Amino acid sequence: AQKITQTQPGMFVQEKEAVTLDCTYDTSDQSYGLFWYKQPSSGEMIFLIYQGSYDEQNATEGRYSLNFQKARKSANLVISASQLGDSAMYFCAMREGRTGNTPLVFGKGTRLSVIA
Amino acid sequence: GAVVSQHPSRVICKSGTSVKIECRSLDFQATTMFWYRQFPKQSLMLMATSNEGSKATYEQGVEKDKFLINHASLTLSTLTVTSAHPEDSSFYICSARDGNRPLMNTEAFFGQGTRLTVV
């Protein structure tokens, strides 16, 4: 079974609008972390935001916020005030367990295109 | 943030030759490094976990004799693709964990990736 599911292969958003990228996850661990990365065409993986399973508040980092709904096992990324430079692939990822020494498991990604 | 340097960024090699990819943590000790492979328009798939001073742990379906991983120091891990074939053409990317920051809420730091083309 997929541990990370991103159901939107591609999304379009108008510049300056907000957009939500969906991510659902599957784990039986009580302790886990959820990550979002941006991958531009150059290939580098740019860390955007992190949410821990025990965090009660939704994470925010500048224009990025994570809508964490634990009971529904969803961790959607919200990008506010989209910019042309936001066009890229976006990956949701999860790390299971209590330590940070386990690898990330990635979803299939969502390609975001920002339109002027 | 912490920096992971991966080299080379692009390499083209002939079928049957070997290619070495380096992954260095520049300002922290990386006790664990992860190697991922990404085919075009696909996600990152974990190939192996590399721990300093011990043998790498390979994921199911990844040939350990073909993808040799060495993690001889706390700042360097290498992936050697031996006897490369065109189907090995892919984007290879490493990530490193800061051994002094084992908590969950630290992101994995990624190298810039290596685009391998086998002709």
Name which of B46, B93, B115 is nearest A45 (Cβ-Cβ): B93
Q: How far is CA A2 from CA A27, A102, A115, B36, B63, in A?
A: 10, 17, 31, 17, 23
User: Which residue of chain B comes nearest to A89, CA vs CA?
Assistant: B41
pLDDT tens digits, B3-38 = 899 999 999 999 999 999 999 999 888 888 999 999
Contact yes or no for B18/B81 (Cβ under 8 A): yes
pLDDT tens digits, B66-99 = 999 998 888 999 999 999 999 999 999 999 887 7
Residue B51: predicted pLDDT: 86
Quote the DSSP letter at residue A70: T
B107 vs B14, more confident = B14
Each residue's pLDDT tens digit in chain A (116 positions)? 679 999 999 999 999 999 999 999 999 999 999 999 999 999 999 999 999 999 989 999 999 999 999 999 999 999 999 999 999 999 999 999 876 678 899 999 999 999 99
Contact yes or no for A37/A93 (Cβ under 8 A): yes
Residue A1: predicted pLDDT: 67
Shortest alpha-carbon distance between residue B96 and chain A (Å) = 9
Contact yes or no for B109/B98 (Cβ under 8 A): yes
Residue A2: predicted pLDDT: 77
How crowded is the C-beta side of B108, counted as CA atoms within 13 Å?
32
User: Which residue of chain A comes nearest to B34, CA vs CA?
Assistant: A103
Residues of A in contact with B104 (CB under 8 A): 31-33, 52, 95, 97-100
Residue B39: predicted pLDDT: 92
- The tokens for B116 are 């391998």
Query: What does the buried/exposed string (b/e) look like for A26-43 if buried means 16 or more CB atoms within 10 Å of the residue's CB?
Result: ebeeeebbbbbbbbeeeb
Residues of A in contact with B43 (CB under 8 A): 91, 106-109
SS3 call for B40: coil
User: Which residue of chain B comes nearest to A47, CA vs CA?
Assistant: B107
pLDDT tens digits, B35-73 = 999 998 899 999 999 888 888 999 999 999 999 999 888
Residues of B in contact with A105 (CB under 8 A): 46
CA atoms of A16 and A25, how far apart (whole Å): 29
SS3 call for B60: coil
Q: Calculate the CA B64 to chain-centre distance.
A: 13
Residue B103: predicted pLDDT: 58
